[in-house]
Amino acid sequence: MADADNLVDEEDDRSRRLRLLSYNVQMGISSSGPHNYFTNIWKHVLPASCRFRNLDRIAKLISDFDIVALQELDAGSHRTGYIDLTEYLAQKAGFPFWHHQLNRDLGQIAQHGNGILSRLLPTAVTEHRLPGALPGRGALMVRYGHGESALVVLLIHLALGKRSRLIQLDYVAELVNDYRYAVVMGDMNCVPGSPEMRHLFGRTRLCEPAQELNTFPSWRPNRSIDHILVTPELQVRQCRVLNQAYSDHLPVAMELTLPDELHLTV
């Protein structure tokens, strides 16, 4: 009987775990050094068959996770053969729910944005335009559950300029402060100790990472600019960088233990 009880406890423990991944996939373009920014520039405007071979590798990598936040995807333009890359990755990796947020609409040239893939059934998906000096940055909020027991996951890709990032993180703080259980993840273009991140931590209950995880550039990572941040009620079991260089960024992964009052639907 004791063995059976332990088995039940282990199964319940696994059911409370949530595996998250954030990844800037650079439109499916692989990079092995700074020279690739020049040699691969044509792939940002023209179709390339190697893009989908690389995306297939990314799909295999992300298939082990429950919620995946992806940055720098195309919703279907000339350069991708009019294929929505968020939908492509969702289908290849077996995710039943996905959503693409279009942030820069350049017609047939590019449909640039972010995407989220989920094995859990969302109750609401909301798109937000982030403020800043230049348009084209967005936040995608996905809610699971209702009321005070809801979990919200916010996918962001922040601006390159410090002043714009400060304004954008003010906006992010307004979004997440309404929720007890919140996750913010994405390419934030700033390190944990930067003034803009300190500003975010001062305005919200989001926890600062326990350690800096360098994700950029993928061939010699020395900057921690891709993050997964959570409120303290979400227990972090593990957070790590995956050494898979399918982009100019490396993916960051986190495993959480959810509190008993959170009930997420698969």
- Residue 263 falls within a domain, yes or no? no
Q: For 170-186, how does the pLDDT look when each residue is reduced to its tens digit (9 = 90+)?
A: 999 999 999 999 999 99
In a domain? residue 264: no
Residue 229 is predicted with a pLDDT of 97
Kindly report the pTM of this predicted structure. 0.93
Indicate whether 266 belongs to any domain: no
CATH at residue 53 = 3.60.10.10
Q: HEC states along the chain?
A: CHHHHHHHHHHHHHHCEEEEEEEECHHHCCCCCCCHHHHCHHHHCCCCHHHHHHHHHHHHHHCCCCEEEEEEEECCCHHHCCCCHHHHHHHHHCCCEEEEEEEEECCCCCEEEEEEEECCCCCEEEEEECCCCCCCCEEEEEEECCHHHCEEEEEEECCCCHHHHHHHHHHHHHHHCCCCEEEEEEECCCCCCCHHHHHHHHHCCCCCCCCCCCCECCCCCCECCEEEEECCCCEEEEEEECCCCCCCCCCEEEEEECCCCCCCCC
Structure confidence at residue 2 (pLDDT): 55
Does 265 map to a domain? no
Residue 29 falls inside a structural domain: yes
Residue 137, domain member (yes or no)? yes
Number of domains in the chain: 1
pLDDT in tens, 52-103: 999 999 999 999 999 999 999 999 999 999 999 999 999 999 999 999 999 9
Residue 262 domain-assigned (yes or no): no
Q: Domain range spanning residue 45? A: 2-257
